[in-house]
Amino acid sequence: MPQDSPADSPAWKGTPVTNTLVVFDLDGTMIDTAPDLIDSLNHTIAARDLAPVTFEDLTHLVGQGARVMIRRAFALREAPLDESEVEPLLARFLDHYSQHMPGKSRLYDGLTDCFDRLEAAGMRLAVCTNKLEQLALPLLDKMHLTKRFAAITGGDTFPVRKPDARHLLGTIERAGGEPARSILIGDSINDIMAAKNAGIGSIGVTFGYSDVPVAELAPTRIIGHFGELTAELVRTVIAQASTAAR
């Protein structure tokens, strides 16, 4: 019997045996990208002589991609921003971020061991991020993570992005998974709401970039370190989501 068999847990009695898919957000969940996001954003807004942003600001800026982050930075500094300026500023951001990748970004503690543990249990992994593909794909590649994932989707992969359920469901489909056997791991309201909108379970991490305590977002479960993310916890969250959907 494969290690990922539902029969390992009484909650899965009578459930067909299929692959479990664990979908991860990227920024603030798998990788601490804050130093590089801040550096590139400050480089971008310096073109308009705006005061630099800090990590404390970042939690209010990230989550909806680079364009929105730039717009939010201007709003934070109460500076006018004409729509015609957005694309040139975006190009400035993308150029700086790409040239310095991976920069100071680092994997969160325990992530690699977590991947090994889930894969050993027969589970597959995927990425669903609002980061643009042209930034997410090379970052994951340079961090030597790409081969881990059955699918990687960004904020421009589909016409929609998180918290729209179609972004997450599209990722699951690309990975060959099933919503009923999938969960999302994330740090922000976009992640937790995407999971809720898709009708699947979620695990919120406490070490990300949420501007409110992750508990206030009401994920199915919460972890403070990837050492807590076990195959048993994944199965438990999927079982809880299944029960809640009945």
Query: In the chain, where do the E strands start and end?
Result: 21-24, 31-32, 106-107, 124-128, 149-153, 182-186, 201-205, 221-223
- What distance in Å separates the CA atoms of residue 226 and residue 17, rounded to the nearest whole number? 26
Element (H, E) at 169: helix 165-174
How many CB atoms lie under 10 A from the CB of residue 14? 6
The conformation of residue 27, written as its DSSP 8-state character, comes to B
Structure tokens at 78: 């109460």
Structure tokens at 154: 């960004």
Question: Which residues touch 178 (CB under 8 Å, ≥6 apart)?
Answer: 18, 21, 172
Please report how many Cα atoms fall inside a 13 Å half-sphere around the Cα of residue 19, on the Cβ side.
17
- Of 25, 27, 32, 57, the active-site residue reads 25
The answer to whether 82 is a known catalytic residue is no
**Catalytic center residues:** 25
